[in-house]
Amino acid sequence: MNTPMPHGWRHWRLERRTDGLAWLTFDRAGAAVNALSAEVMAELAAVLDALQADPPAGLVIHSGKAAGFIAGADIDEFAELNSPQQAQALVERGWRLFDRLAAVPYPTLALIHGHCLGGGLELALACRYRIAVDQPGTSLALPEVMLGIFPGWGGMRRLPAVIGAPAALDMMLTGRPADARRAAALGLVDARVPARLAEAAAAQQVRSGKPPRRARGMAGWLGRWPLKLLVARRAHRQIAARDPQGHYPAAPAIVTLWSRHDGNALRAPDVVQRILTSDTARNLLRVFRLQERLKANGKPAAGARPASHVHVVGAGTMGGDIAAWCALKGLTVTLQDQDAARIAPAIGRAAELHARKLKDPHAARAASDRLIPDPDGAGVARADVVIEAITEQAEAKQALYRALQPRMKPDALLATNTSSLSLAALRDGLAQPGQLVGIHFFNPVAKMPLVEVVQAGPDELGAQARACAFVGQIGKLPLPVRDAPGFLVNAVLAPYMLEAMRCVDAGLAPETVDLAMTDFGMPMGPLELADTVGLDIAMAAGRQLAGQDEPPRCLAERLARGELGRKTGRGFYAWHDGKARKNNASAPPPGLAQRLVQPLVERAAQLVPDGVVADADLADAGVIFGTGFAPFTGGPLHYRATAGPTSAAGHAAPAPSNP
């Protein structure tokens, strides 16, 4: 007979079974996911008190939430850190509790399904054993570095001991998750099992008497003195190469805490205080919350049926990659173009994407099988969402819509991926204008998380909300925007890229201009970005968005020579195998980064009162996730508000004279 133990805890349920095992269920009260708040951890300490008084034969810790095991620490408590003493106390609370869990005399096991992140994985590492349920969504990670902090509750000590220093540092310095398959391959879990066998496998493992997993061979030796110092030096060099300006101090702090303090942050209170109370941590926490707000836009209405079939018209780079992504995310996709030969390259790229993302050959094959070439457009009649991704010519798009609408299901969405045309103009003359909505992806589709969802005028059919739900369904971040030239992202990029080109006209090398912005924290410079987008598109955007009668001379000259950027192999740079070939850059002149970023910030600020986005937070979210704007700043408008006028708008660097 199984006996639940009544202790009056709100978040934990303890059950004693006849085989002597105790099963501890974490089900945080009043929350959709499990997070480790102060109250939750105080109750866990009380659970350990009860088990200390009457030890079980073994303990299995699992989750009562369908969403997953534990999503990590309570983010709100990090946001409330106002003093070094509070930061130190927060680290100490988790370190002491998980050390206590690791030291109990009976075997312990974490049975993991769904997300097991941050403090959740640190709790699991404090157990003797771990089993992962092999199902979609199971994900183990220490992503604290992405919030500008470090795993301070034992993860920096225990993860390297379990899987070896190189693999552990990779996980901690990138925040990269491991699914059940990879976790088993790393040795992070003792086994991965199907859901139907999970409880039986957990009971068997916790009674097995096997020693806990430890890194062996060279992986184990690299975590020992003095080899760990060599590993640490190499890691510091790699971090410095990726972040030469030191915008993200948590990464080197993790290496230092592991190599010099055995992963125990309590031995380095100065590091704890410096990292946990830094502006970077506060701003990255802000970015995390902005991301969660965008995700909330993608939640479907109660009772709404998710899309199951998508039809994409246009098998070029954007259309083909949108189709490939939708198939990756489990939807049936029909892809239409003028003939099968035009569709074939998209099918090939899709197979590469599916193999790269899914790893499992059977899953990759199944995803590719969901993508069906459809030159005749038979899938239109069955599709829940029809996405148009053809040439940027209004007349061609409108003719296509008139042909599509009579064949579509009455409740299907018709979406355009236009990046520059007015949605209101595209709707003109349609039998059902409210059926058309903008769903604007960014290139490359597989890497860019943001999708702008565009609405023009009243939304009687709820098309924008339904389109946002579809975007959320395929794992992207939907940003509702109003129909306006360039929407949000392209509208802020156009003046930014044009200012960079003016600097080239004034005599600066493209490499120097781009270096100023990568040093600022951008993922790539504005001229490399213009090459990637296409200089012909940059020209059109500049005319439309910035009102430029005369384009920058450097742009006009390249267009006259047919140098359109990456797609022709030459623009501001020569391109080879998808990479820009650059000369060594000279040091940017003082103030150049501020001069370049100023028009972007000013344009973003203008779009909020214009109603293109609902508020400044959404403007920041869109620019961060749509352009890669330096996340450590918290977004362009937050940067302007907190950095002050000198840093944000900047004393514009004087235009250098021509040599």
- Give the Cα separation of 216 and 163 in Å (integer): 8
Q: By percentage, how much of the chain surpasses pLDDT 90? A: 83
Neighbour order of strands in the sheet with 68-70: 68-70, 115-117, 139-141
pLDDT digits over 364-386, tens only? Answer: 999 999 999 999 999 999 999 99
Give the number of other CB atoms < 10 A from CB of residue 446. Answer: 13
pLDDT at 146 over 60: yes
Catalytic residue among 43, 144, 388, 499: 144
Q: How far is it, in rounded angstroms, from Cα 363 to Cα 350?
A: 13
Q: Is 511 a catalytic residue?
A: no
The CA distance from 287 to 617, in Å, is 10
Q: Judge whether residue 2 has pLDDT over 90.
A: no
**This model's pTM is above 0.95:** no
Q: What is the largest CA-CA distance in the chain?
A: 88
Dump pLDDT digits (tens) for 211-252.
999 988 888 888 888 888 999 999 999 999 999 999 999 999
Given this model, what pLDDT does residue 80 score?
A: 81
DSSP string covering 148-180: T---TTTHHHHHHHHH-HHHHHHHHHH---B-H
CA distance linking residue 5 with residue 342, whole number of Å: 65
Q: How confident is the model at residue 548 (pLDDT cuts 50, 70, 90)?
A: low
**Cα separation of 525 and 515, whole Å?**
7
Whether the per-residue pLDDT at 647 is higher than 50: the answer is no
Mean pLDDT for the stretch of residues 52-58: 96
**What is the gyration radius of the CA atoms in the chain, in angstroms?**
27
Q: Is 144 a catalytic residue?
A: yes
The active-site residue out of 43, 77, 92, 122 is 122
CB 51 within 8 A of CB 100: no
Residue 515 has pLDDT above 60, yes or no: yes
Residue 656, pLDDT > 70, answer: no
% of the chain beyond a pLDDT of 70:
95
Residue written as token pair 């960079």: 500
The string over 279-312, giving b where at least 16 C-beta atoms fall within 10 Å of a residue's C-beta and e elsewhere, is ebbbbbbbbbebbeebeebbebeeeeeebebbbb
| Residue 115, both tokens | 């997300």
Helix (H, G, I), strand (E, B) or coil at 445: coil
Tell me the average pLDDT across 502-507: 96
**Which domains can be identified in the chain, with CATH numbers?**
12-277 (3.90.226.10), 300-487 (3.40.50.720), 489-612 (1.10.1040.50)
Q: What tens digit of pLDDT does each residue of 83-136 get?
A: 888 889 999 999 999 999 999 999 999 999 999 999 999 999 999 999 999 998
309-313/139-141 β-pairing: unpaired
CA–CA dist 165, 118 (Å, integer): 18
Report the first-to-last Cα separation within the chain, whole angstroms: 88
**How far is the CA of 197 from the CAs of 69, 123, 449, in angstroms?**
17, 23, 35
> What pLDDT, on the 0 to 100 scale, is given for residue 53?
95
Across the chain, what does the average pLDDT equal? Answer: 92
Q: Give CA–CA dist 385/91, Å, rounded.
A: 48
**Average pLDDT of span 172-199:** 96
Q: CA–CA separation, 95 vs 313, rounded Å? A: 55
